[in-house]
């Protein structure tokens, strides 16, 4: 069985390397059977079935090595092999008690699943076909540390930035803006950039953060004043101001529309930057690339 597993692993590795179109330096295969590793490395004779498997494995490894990739076969103890849980089977309690399922980093990234209350009727803004970003949900996430440089002393330091996220409630498309802090002024500037590039939304859904409460009041005030002062606005903006809706306090599931997108974007972002300390412009570039990646994901319900 272990020999067949190595054959499947080498075939999958060759297929992935062919389809990824990415620069990869090395490929490592782990196996918990010493005999299988000995057969592959020392070219021993065995039964016809074993010989056919070994020949296929060596051919696949040879094709991978032809692409200037370094391949290596290593031994892993059975008690440290995650595949043992799937192959040997275990109960739910054993799976829960397994040390392999207690990754601290993964717990920090994903957290525990929230228990949803009873689902009510889906609102009209989420079911009727409309143009993208006609109805949006907004949120912040951060802070994200970035590298700063003093132009006078040429000394480096650490700064903080936040990301303003706007997601379409209907299409789940996402728009990201980098902001220097989570103040109301930065929120207004981010929303102005959003409206200039995506158009003015009909409704905005947000939580009850102080930044959003004050900022959205100012937005509606400015829209009303602008409509009263200018007659060159479009019929849409001249007849209807932006409707602002906020979720009920202590009801985070009502903002699940944008909170789920925040999780997707953060997962994509942290997998790219890792522990790297980047500048503000480098982070802004990566965040916009994350926006493109998330918007190219398959359509889901």
Domains defined along the chain, listed by start: 2-89 (no CATH), 124-295 (3.30.420.10)
Q: What is the pLDDT of residues 238-295, one digit of tens each?
A: 444 677 777 877 777 778 888 889 999 999 998 888 888 899 999 999 999 999 999 9
> Which regions of the chain does DSSP assign to beta strands (E)?
26-31, 70-75, 135-149, 156-168, 174-179, 203-206, 243-246
Q: What is the pLDDT of residues 194-237, one digit of tens each?
A: 888 988 888 888 877 554 555 455 555 554 454 444 443 334 33
Rounded-to-integer distance, Cα 272 and Cα 276, Å:
9
Cβ atoms < 10 Å from Cβ of 9: 18
Cβ atoms < 10 Å from Cβ of 132: 16
The count of C-alpha atoms lying within 13 angstroms of the C-alpha of 180, restricted to the half-sphere facing its C-beta, is 5
pTM score = 0.55
Q: What is the pLDDT of residues 123-145, one digit of tens each?
A: 777 777 888 898 999 888 888 99
């Amino acid at each position: 069985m272990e020999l067949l597993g190595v054959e499947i692993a080498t075939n999958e590795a060759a297929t992935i390397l062919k389809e990824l179109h990415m620069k990869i330096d090395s490929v490592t295969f782990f196996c918990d059977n010493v005999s299988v590793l000995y057969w592959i490395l020392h070219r021993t004779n065995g039964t016809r079935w074993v010989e056919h498997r070994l020949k296929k494995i060596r051919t696949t490894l040879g094709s991978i090595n032809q692409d200037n990739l370094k391949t290596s076969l290593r031994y892993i103890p059975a008690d440290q092999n995650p595949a043992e849980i799937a192959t040997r089977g275990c109960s739910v309690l054993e799976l829960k008690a397994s040390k392999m399922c207690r990754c601290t980093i993964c717990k920090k990234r994903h957290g525990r699943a929230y228990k949803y209350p009873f689902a009510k009727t889906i609102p009209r803004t989420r079911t009727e076909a409309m143009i993208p970003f006609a109805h949006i949900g907004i949120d912040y996430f951060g802070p994200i540390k970035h590298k700063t440089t003093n132009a006078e002393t040429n000394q480096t330091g650490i700064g903080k930035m936040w990301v303003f996220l706007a997601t379409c409630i209907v299409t789940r498309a996402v728009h990201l803006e980098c902001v220097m802090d989570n103040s109301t002024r930065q929120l207004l500037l981010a929303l102005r950039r959003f409206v200039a590039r995506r158009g003015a939304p009909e409704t905005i859904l947000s939580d009850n953060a102080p930044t959003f409460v004050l900022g959205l009041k100012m937005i509606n005030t400015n829209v009303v004043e602008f409509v009263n002062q200018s007659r060159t606005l479009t019929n849409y903006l001249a007849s209807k101001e932006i409707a602002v809706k906020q979720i009920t306090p202590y009801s985070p599931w009502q903002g699940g529309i944008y909170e789920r997108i925040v999780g997707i974007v953060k997962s994509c972002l942290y997998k790219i930057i890792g522990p790297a300390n980047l500048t503000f412009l480098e982070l802004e570039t990566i965040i916009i690339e994350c926006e493109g990646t998330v918007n190219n994901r398959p359509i889901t319900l």
